[in-house]
Chains A and B, each alone.
Chain A
């Protein structure tokens, strides 16, 4: 054990900024991070033990206790609830002989729940020992647990029926499906050959300024949701002082209902890596880091081999494409399970081996980012798009989409529709168009842009997806009329944000939990109108949080109060403001009664 720990630490040269990798590797080999392990890490890295612990305890997937030989992380996001996840939970608990949050008495099976794992189009899904199991049924669960009891390997548990496309790649062998329902003109156009853009740069003798110029002329904007112009970001980073510079690809898609990066990285990984390389060329960056969410650990071997292929083909490494002085290397940085790390400065903190707490700005990452050096953080889709823009020209790109929103958007569509999956469409489609495309009927609401976006009702289905109208990072969850919107959806999102707040800003840390309490009161029918008013009055308080997560964390509640007010009114109807309907005398005096009885 000691040798394993120290070998891993040596592997990262005892560098405290690689703490995430050290923790991930050790846990992967030993199953958990014991007190002893943490002490060894602290000593070797020459940092206080609590410094190691503060990183360990921040991330969902790190554990100081053993979590079983087989560790099940069952997704608890909204969409699982649409597929009778309760039955799955019950079956797991019955077969494994322990409840969720625990390990079976023999230490064999641990059951845990986790936030969205990026499989909303094939729920219910779970991660078991870094491998994904989708479309779970009670029967499948019984077989899985029986297999565990028989001591089967994870490979044996997966069976031999793999998903489509590269999911079946021998290095991945995933049972995950792509579900690409609509291929667009940019990302999934199928006409990409690795090195296209790099060859174009060489043949057209484009300087880094030329690249930035074309990206600016294409007016491509960040696909992560905020929509910042990519060319401008690159230009600032190019001019920023400090060496070396870094390009991050943000593949930490944690917004519930989002899974597009998973499919892009499965089918077009070279497009992503080439995009990073182009960004590196434009900005003058020496290193690229793909920050990949821990949930996608099953892709690791596959993606590492792709990077090796590209290096072999001189698309990465030194003197790329025979261009002297053009050197660029990419490594993969895994996260540890924290939604907030999708925020770019939190992502950088995490990649430095720290807690994923967003930074104060200024300075912006383009000036002082990773290791205080100029850093560009781009979304997976943005980087892919740039490769196509360089290859085919900005004029071509500008013919797609709307005036203010050029190009296509890859949408992750899940929920109550016939064909959940990936749709790449030009900007400018209406919500109605999309509902038709996906075979959705009897729709009550659509959650646009995930929980941090907004929940809209039928009167807004005519709106179009575009930066100038309904801007979105790309997730649409379709909610049918048969769903209890407040209980099944809003309450789930409220719990999600309570769980995922980093806790640094006071309003976010406290109000995510407090609003969930009030929401529970409303759902139970014991709230009053003033409770609803109270939630609305918290909106401006939340706007003063440091990061996007905090600023939008009450959106599931606030947008449904705005768009589905009648559902709230029904819940509080007839409840008096004078008497607290939530007051429970028996519960309030339980301690006293118990004391008196003794």
Chain B
């Protein structure tokens, strides 16, 4: 296995050649924020929050494989400001009411909002009219909270290897649908996995909630990324 040296924000790092940049940076205690990326599933590069500069050119760290001598800028003002914008845009684009959300405290979007000290988004609130789908026996799909990251589409499959989720429409009408057929007999474990994989509270497992009280959840205890950084 070949190891390569690369540089992130001036710090010399080392990792396996061809490793996903997000993971390679993590090994070197450098946190590059992600939203659509999820360990173990194919990256998509759609939220753009992990954008870094490689030799001055923007690229998403989730879709980039690390190579020898790569010179990366990540925690620079231009990119940190961009990342904050992405978080703000997502809050303004959908309908996010953290206090009433089952995912509060475990929500990556909320955690990133805190990380970037978002106060009032500098983007117009769209207040879109979106549905809450409750027909599925095990899952609740709240389109208000969905950030369309495609994690569920890429990561959740039934026993036949078929997808449960898919995009519908396009542009600002884009949404994620559940297939009634392929999702018919999913196990409680898969339902839980779908909920856990969702970075926000758009996929909620039915009949089980608030097992851990708000205030004692993952990001209530430690800011996002702090487990990675030295």
Of B46, B47, B173, most A-chain CB atoms within 10 Å:
B46
Please determine whether B171 and A534 come into contact, CB atoms closer than 8 angstroms: no
Cβ of B13 < 8 Å from any Cβ of A? no
| Chain A positions within 8 Å of B215 at CB level | none
Chain B, Cβ-Cβ closest to A502: B170
Choose from A49, A537, A543, A545 the contact partner of B181 (Cβ within 8 Å).
A49
Cβ of A414 < 8 Å from any Cβ of B? no
A502 and B171 in contact, given A507-B48, A514-B126, A544-B82 (Cβ under 8 angstroms): yes
| Chain A positions within 8 Å of B58 at CB level | 543-544
Which of A555-588 touch B at CB < 8 Å? none
Alpha-carbon distance A509/B123, docked complex (angstroms): 13
Interface code A44-80, partner B: CB below 8 Å = 1, 0 otherwise?
A: 0001111101100110000000000000000000000
Cβ of B220 < 8 Å from any Cβ of A? no
Cβ of B44 < 8 Å from any Cβ of A? yes
Choose from B126, B163, B170 the contact partner of A501 (Cβ within 8 Å).
B170
Choose from B89, B126, B163, B181 the contact partner of A506 (Cβ within 8 Å).
B89
Interface code A313-332, partner B: CB below 8 Å = 1, 0 otherwise?
A: 00000000000000000000
Please determine whether B123 and A514 come into contact, CB atoms closer than 8 angstroms: yes
Cβ of B172 < 8 Å from any Cβ of A? yes
Please determine whether A510 and B172 come into contact, CB atoms closer than 8 angstroms: yes
Interface size for B (C-beta < 8 A) is 45
Cβ of A109 < 8 Å from any Cβ of B? no
Looking at chain A's contact residues, the main secondary structure is: helix
Please determine whether B174 and A48 come into contact, CB atoms closer than 8 angstroms: no
Which of B161-202 touch A at CB < 8 Å? 162-174, 177-182
Cβ of B207 < 8 Å from any Cβ of A? no
Cβ of A3 < 8 Å from any Cβ of B? no
A48 and B85 in contact, given A505-B48, A510-B92, A546-B45 (Cβ under 8 angstroms): no
Alpha-carbon distance A498/B63, docked complex (angstroms): 26
Please determine whether A507 and B89 come into contact, CB atoms closer than 8 angstroms: yes
Please determine whether A51 and B163 come into contact, CB atoms closer than 8 angstroms: yes
| Chain A positions within 8 Å of B8 at CB level | none
Which of A11-54 touch B at CB < 8 Å? 47-51, 53-54
Minimum CB–CB distance from A502 to chain B (whole Å) comes to 5
A54 and B168 in contact, given A509-B148, A510-B93 (Cβ under 8 angstroms): yes
Alpha-carbon distance A499/B172, docked complex (angstroms): 8
| Chain A positions within 8 Å of B168 at CB level | 50, 53-54, 57
Please determine whether A506 and B182 come into contact, CB atoms closer than 8 angstroms: no
Alpha-carbon distance A355/B168, docked complex (angstroms): 9
Please determine whether A541 and B163 come into contact, CB atoms closer than 8 angstroms: no
Please determine whether A360 and B63 come into contact, CB atoms closer than 8 angstroms: yes
Cβ of B104 < 8 Å from any Cβ of A? no
| Chain A positions within 8 Å of B178 at CB level | 50
| Chain A positions within 8 Å of B27 at CB level | none
Please determine whether B171 and A506 come into contact, CB atoms closer than 8 angstroms: no
Interface size class of A (residues with CB under 8 A): 35 or more
| Chain B positions within 8 Å of A360 at CB level | 43-45, 60, 63
Cβ of A378 < 8 Å from any Cβ of B? no
Cβ of B110 < 8 Å from any Cβ of A? no
Please determine whether A54 and B181 come into contact, CB atoms closer than 8 angstroms: no
Please determine whether B85 and A541 come into contact, CB atoms closer than 8 angstroms: yes
| Chain A positions within 8 Å of B63 at CB level | 360
Please determine whether B174 and A503 come into contact, CB atoms closer than 8 angstroms: yes
Alpha-carbon distance A47/B166, docked complex (angstroms): 12
Choose from A48, A54, A509, A543 the contact partner of B172 (Cβ within 8 Å).
A509
| Chain A positions within 8 Å of B172 at CB level | 498, 501, 503, 509-510, 512-513
Which of B78-131 touch A at CB < 8 Å? 78, 82, 85-86, 89-90, 92-93, 122-124, 126
Minimum CB–CB distance from A581 to chain B (whole Å) comes to 15
Minimum CB–CB distance from A550 to chain B (whole Å) comes to 9
Choose from B46, B78, B166, B173 the contact partner of A50 (Cβ within 8 Å).
B166
Alpha-carbon distance A477/B81, docked complex (angstroms): 36
Please determine whether B166 and A48 come into contact, CB atoms closer than 8 angstroms: yes
| Chain B positions within 8 Å of A53 at CB level | 166, 168, 177
Choose from A51, A503, A504 the contact partner of B166 (Cβ within 8 Å).
A51
| Chain A positions within 8 Å of B162 at CB level | 47-48
Minimum CB–CB distance from B139 to chain A (whole Å) comes to 14
Cβ of A511 < 8 Å from any Cβ of B? yes
Chain B, Cβ-Cβ closest to A58: B170
A498 and B45 in contact, given A48-B166, A50-B166, A544-B82 (Cβ under 8 angstroms): no
Interface code A476-520, partner B: CB below 8 Å = 1, 0 otherwise?
A: 000000000000000000000011111111110111111001100
| Chain A positions within 8 Å of B45 at CB level | 360, 505, 546
Please determine whether B89 and A503 come into contact, CB atoms closer than 8 angstroms: no
| Chain A positions within 8 Å of B165 at CB level | 50
Please determine whether A541 and B171 come into contact, CB atoms closer than 8 angstroms: no
Choose from A506, A517, A518 the contact partner of B46 (Cβ within 8 Å).
A506
Choose from B46, B51, B170 the contact partner of A355 (Cβ within 8 Å).
B170
Alpha-carbon distance A464/B78, docked complex (angstroms): 34
| Chain A positions within 8 Å of B122 at CB level | 534, 537
Alpha-carbon distance A545/B169, docked complex (angstroms): 19
Cβ of A159 < 8 Å from any Cβ of B? no
A501 and B171 in contact, given A48-B181, A360-B63, A510-B89 (Cβ under 8 angstroms): yes
Cβ of A276 < 8 Å from any Cβ of B? no
Please determine whether B170 and A503 come into contact, CB atoms closer than 8 angstroms: yes
Interface code A517-547, partner B: CB below 8 Å = 1, 0 otherwise?
A: 1100000000000000010010011011110
Chain A, Cβ-Cβ closest to B164: A48
Cβ of A285 < 8 Å from any Cβ of B? no
Please determine whether B89 and A50 come into contact, CB atoms closer than 8 angstroms: no
Alpha-carbon distance A94/B78, docked complex (angstroms): 54
Alpha-carbon distance A545/B45, docked complex (angstroms): 9
| Chain A positions within 8 Å of B43 at CB level | 360
Minimum CB–CB distance from B123 to chain A (whole Å) comes to 6
| Chain B positions within 8 Å of A510 at CB level | 89-90, 92-93, 123, 126, 172
Please determine whether A514 and B92 come into contact, CB atoms closer than 8 angstroms: yes
29 CB-based A-B contacts, threshold 8 Å: A48-B162, A48-B166, A49-B181, A50-B163, A50-B177, A50-B179, A50-B182, A51-B163, A53-B177, A57-B169, A355-B170, A360-B44, A498-B172, A502-B174, A505-B46, A506-B89, A506-B147, A507-B85, A507-B86, A507-B89, A509-B148, A509-B174, A510-B89, A512-B172, A513-B171, A514-B89, A534-B122, A541-B85, A541-B86
A-side residues, CB < 8 A to B, are: 47-51, 53-54, 57-58, 338, 355, 360, 498-507, 509-514, 517-518, 534, 537, 540-541, 543-546
- Given contact pairs A48-B164, A503-B170, A506-B89, a sample of 9 additional A-B residue pairs in the complex whose CB atoms are under 8 Å apart: A48-B166, A49-B181, A51-B166, A355-B170, A501-B170, A503-B167, A506-B47, A509-B148, A537-B122
